[in-house]
Every structure is written in C-alpha cells, then in structure tokens.
Structure 1
C-alpha cells in the first residue's frame, strides 16, 4: 500500500495484478469490505479496473493515519478481505510514486 500525505488527510493506493477471471471477484471483495459510510475515517474510495482484466487499483482517502491503522487492525471484515485479496491477486506493490501535481 502506498500512503501519500494530502492536505486533507492521506491517500492510500493499492495496485493489484490479477488474472482476468478473478478481476470482478477482487472488486466485489474490496467493495464489500470498505464502505465509506460505515468505516470511520474513510472519506472516499475509488476502484478502477483495467480493460484487459489484469489490474485493479484501489484508491482510498482517509482522515488520517490513525483511522487507517484502526480500520486495518481492528476490523474483522477488513482482515477477512485482506486474506481473500491475497488469494485472488497475482501481485501487488510495493511500488513507490511521487506526487507530481494535485488539483482539488
């Protein structure tokens, strides 16, 4: 997971490599585990899928590092989803990125 500090919280980005037949299952798993309306500190989540079926990007904006840490350490649904994601993906990060420009 790549964590990028932002002016209004932080941005967490996961880039997953997946077999095309597992792409939708991965998307469903992530969507079911993280609903911004139900997860304290999660402000927004964007899921992107590649046209060829081999990539899924999960971009989440959190209020702060403490909220992200609390969600990933103390939530049974998140823990189960992380386990399931591990079964579905072929590879994931840890890639590193530089913020080039931010336009809000």
Structure 2
C-alpha cells in the first residue's frame, strides 16, 4: 500500500473530471483487484498526459473497491482509453470484479464542516 498525504484538489468551475468506478468483488478477490489497480496506476496511468491522481477505497465488508481518479479534462480521459496499455489494464482489472460501474463526473459543489464555533 502506498502511504502519502493527499494532493487532491476538489474545485468547482474547472475542466477537471473525475472517474468514479465502483467495482463489486467477492471478498477473496478484493486485494487482488486493488493490487492490479495500484500496479497499473504506478506503471501506466502516472505517465499518461492529463492524469492527475488516483485514490482507491475499499469497503470494510470486502465487496467493493472504489477508484477515484482525477483527469485534467474529458478529452484527456478519452484519449487515455485509446492507449493499448490502458485497454489491457481495464480488461485485466475487470477480470477480478463481478461488476463495475464507471462514471465520469465534474465537481458541482464543495462543503466543509462548520468549525467557526469550535
């Protein structure tokens, strides 16, 4: 597992897009899926133009993996999907999942805890 302080910037009104992909997995395959996603991110995505960051979240019951990946814009994400290495990774990762649901989104609003009274 990679331990880093986050560099995520969540801002409205930009061209930046986020891929939110929820994978459904058998609990015994959760770690294998995470390892495949981490390896692909390190070796492939970090070198693709327009890639900003990726964060993996695992459900406590072992049945979900959420990939939260930021891209400079929709065109960069679409171009990445045309790379043979990326396509190979997508197929490999999908093999661990029972289902997956990728959606490309933009930030609509940002909210923080009210700490004025603290």
TM more than 0.5: yes
Q: Tell me the equivalent position of 1:92.
A: 100
Long gaps (5+) in structure 1: none
**2:21 maps to 1:18:** no
Where is the strand percentage greater, Structure 1 or Structure 2?
1
Q: CA RMSD in A?
A: 2.8
Hey, what's the Cα distance between the residues in 2 that align with 1:40 and 1:98?
A: 19
Aligned length: 99
Take 2:103 and 2:75, find their aligned partners in 1: how far apart are those partners?
22
Q: Any conservation in 2 of the 1:19–1:53 contact (CA below 8 Å)?
A: yes
- Superposed displacement of residue 98, structure 1: 9.5
| Corresponding residue for residue 66 of structure 1 | 75
Q: Partners of 1:52 and 1:81 in 2: how far apart?
A: 25
Moved over 3 A (4+): 94-101
Gaps of at least 5 residues in structure 2 are: 1-11, 113-118
Aligned counterpart, 1:31: 38
Higher RCO (C-alpha under 8 Å, 6+ residues apart) = 2
Greater Cα radius of gyration, structure 1 or 2: 2
* Distance (Å, rounded) in 2 between the aligned partners of 1:80 and 1:62: 19
